[in-house]
Amino acid sequence: MTFHILISDPLSEDGIYPLRQAEGMNIVMETNLTPEQLENRIDGFDALLVRSQTQVTRGLIERASNLKIIGRAGVGVDNIDLEAATEKGIIVVNAPDGNTNSAAEHTIAMMMSLARKIPQAFHALRNQNWDRKSYVGVELKNKTLGVVGLGRIGAEVAVRAKGQRMNVIAYDPFLTAEKAEKMGIGYGTIEEVLKAADFITVHTPLLKETHHLIDKQAFEIMKDGVQIINCARGGIIDENALYEAVKSKKVAGAALDVFEQEPMIDFRLLELPEIVATPHLGASTVEAQESVAVDVSMDVVSFLTTGTVRNSVNLPSVPKEIMAKIEPYFDLAERLGAFLTDLAEGTATEVNVKYSGDLANVEVGPLTRNMLKGLLKRHLGKHVNDVNAMYLANQKDIVVNEQKSTEAKGFTNLITVEVKTAKETRKAAGTLLNGQGARIVKVDDYLVDVVPAGHLLFIRHNDRPGVIGRVGTLLGQEDVNIATMQVGRSNVGGDAIMMLTIDKHADSSSLEQLKELSEIQNVTQIDL
């Protein structure tokens, strides 16, 4: 089998070694495509690898009929329409750690350039202007650095700033007093940080909540003569507000690596002598580029060949040791979902899944997603997968509830799925028998023992003598061979069920004839 991989932004050749080395990978590197050319090119590719330049829009995703995975060689995924990818069942992976050090070093380099006006002085010197008066800087020592967003990069910047003997104060919604104390830094609300700092550096992702986090009001509460660094994402700082704040001398200087519109940046900003800038170079080191490309290439190979990834953005990652425990149940969960979608009449409105016994102590989200995949696939088609199953269930207004219990009714593990539709509520439970594979052990309130595979007939009937014989005879006449049969009843002469495994799919006329037999209430065929 060959997988087709398109790389649309420049990636380190050493970094894509895991892709080159893996078998069956057809790698196409086209890094100069316009958005229109990319839309025309994408169809047929299984994987797309990008950095921050390629805009992976809904339009592009819609044209990618075969795309399974998008790899972002870097951290920020704001250039990828995550909702559109999730909707289409495309997994998005990134490389969250590979460029942390480079971005932190770049931030410090930018802060020092700003403090000592190095780019401006160099520019003057290049123009043969030996000017020492205009470029008097300030020391970092004993100044306060305000860090907004103390994640991977923010924390590395804080550590390095302390090395410059700066006082560091940070704001991050997840920053605790213990963590701040351990790092030897102060912490406060965003307002407290903005008020206290001589230098401010932002390290949040660009989200709805962080868009223009630093706006006109934010500048107003800062110290006069504050200096600002943005090596995170354009858009966190409102560029118009920054322009005005620099013009009015409220802000003494700003160092920008990222811009609201890249590469078409607002060049007005660069006309201000107080601003130093680089063209999104935070991660542009040999080491970072190799590292992020290796990370993302490894995840792409792993996903295409084994279906597992380490750094998914739109699918919760499950630790390896937990995955090893739950993976054997994936197939059972999916088959239970498929079984119930055939068994229950009407459209599902609520699905309740109960995990019992051994499964009560593990992360079961991936099992629920597999069950939903089985449940939805019948009606929504093959594109339903682990990535979009929960999303699609929400979209279809299906309420999904998970429950756990240590009590498994004599089984070591049990998955019970109850599906409610407008017409009825149906239930099935399955278990994984040690060494013998999966079994459905209960349908509604009847105990059974059926391998959840192949063609099944579930028949409800009145418990009367001769019904089983008539069903067997009719199926024989229709050339449908019965492989196994289970029977059960609520009480003598009451409601009863038959669960048959048959060797081939029974055609609709055979099913109609079965339904017409006396004492038969209902016949459902299930193909697993």
Ligand X SMILES: O=C(O)CC[C@@H](O)C(=O)O
Ligand Y SMILES: NC(=O)c1ccc[n+]([C@@H]2O[C@H](COP(=O)([O-])OP(=O)(O)OC[C@H]3O[C@@H](n4cnc5c(N)ncnc54)[C@H](O)[C@@H]3O)[C@@H](O)[C@H]2O)c1
Would you tell me which residues interact with ligand X (CB under 6 A)?
51-52, 74-76, 99, 280, 282-284
Cβ at position 51, least distance to ligand X in Å: 3
Residue 171 host element (H or E): strand 167-171
For the sheet with 167-171, list strands across it: 186-187, 167-171, 144-148, 199-202, 226-230, 251-256, 275-277
Cβ at position 285, least distance to ligand Y in Å: 10
Helices (H), 127-233: 152-163, 177-183, 190-196, 216-221
Site for ligand Y in 252-281 (CB under 6 A): 257-258, 280
- 152 makes contact with ligand Y (CB under 6 A): yes
Tell me whether the omega of the peptide bond preceding residue 316 falls within 30 degrees of 0, making it cis. Answer: no
Cβ at position 178, least distance to ligand Y in Å: 15
Piece of the chain touching ligand Y by CB under 6 A; list 143-151, 294-302, 347-355, 486-494: 143-151
Site for ligand Y in 438-497 (CB under 6 A): none
Q: Which entry of ligand X, ligand Y, none binds 231, CB below 5 to 8 A by partner kind?
A: ligand Y
Q: Which entry of ligand X, ligand Y, none binds 172, CB below 5 to 8 A by partner kind?
A: ligand Y
First CA to last CA across the chain, in angstroms?
Answer: 25
Cβ at position 273, least distance to ligand Y in Å: 23
Active site residues: 233, 262, 280
Choosing from 201, 204, 297, 416, the residue that interacts with ligand Y (CB under 6 A) is 204
Q: Which entry of ligand Y, ligand X, none binds 257, CB below 5 to 8 A by partner kind?
A: ligand Y
User: Tokens at residue 311, please?
Assistant: 């750094």
Q: Are strands 437-443 and 425-433 parallel, antiparallel or unpaired?
A: antiparallel
- 150 makes contact with ligand Y (CB under 6 A): yes
Site for ligand Y in 164-183 (CB under 6 A): 171-174
Choosing from 8, 99, 370, 431, the residue that interacts with ligand Y (CB under 6 A) is 99
Closer residue to ligand X (CB): 280 or 420: 280
- 282 makes contact with ligand Y (CB under 6 A): yes
| Residues 482, 486, 490: CA angle, nearest 5 degrees | 140
User: Tokens at residue 364, please?
Assistant: 């079961």
Cβ at position 148, least distance to ligand X in Å: 16
Cβ at position 283, least distance to ligand X in Å: 4
- 149 makes contact with ligand Y (CB under 6 A): yes
Q: Which entry of ligand Y, ligand X, none binds 232, CB below 5 to 8 A by partner kind?
A: ligand Y
CA distance 89 to 372: 13
- 210 makes contact with ligand Y (CB under 6 A): yes
Residue 461's Cβ-side half-sphere holds a number of Cα atoms within 13 Å equal to: 25
Burial profile 403-414: b = 16 or more Cβ within 10 angstroms, e = fewer: eeeeebeebebb
User: Tokens at residue 426, please?
Assistant: 């149906």
Q: Are strands 348-357 and 413-421 parallel, antiparallel or unpaired?
A: antiparallel
- 283 makes contact with ligand Y (CB under 6 A): yes
8 A C-beta contact, residue 56 and residue 77? no
Residue with tokens 């750094």: 311
- 103 makes contact with ligand Y (CB under 6 A): yes
Closer residue to ligand X (CB): 52 or 356: 52
- Total residues contacting ligand Y by CB under 6 A comes to 33
Cβ at position 96, least distance to ligand Y in Å: 6
In the three-class reduction of DSSP (H, G, I as helix; E, B as strand; rest coil), residue 440 is classed as strand
Residues contacting residue 427 through CB under 8 Å, at least 6 positions apart: 340, 416, 417, 418, 419, 442, 443, 444, 445
Site for ligand Y in 334-363 (CB under 6 A): none
Q: Which entry of ligand X, ligand Y, none binds 51, CB below 5 to 8 A by partner kind?
A: ligand X
In the three-class reduction of DSSP (H, G, I as helix; E, B as strand; rest coil), residue 285 is classed as coil
Binding site for ligand Y (CB under 6 A): 74-76, 96, 99-100, 103, 148-154, 171-174, 203-206, 209-210, 213, 231-233, 257-258, 280, 282-283
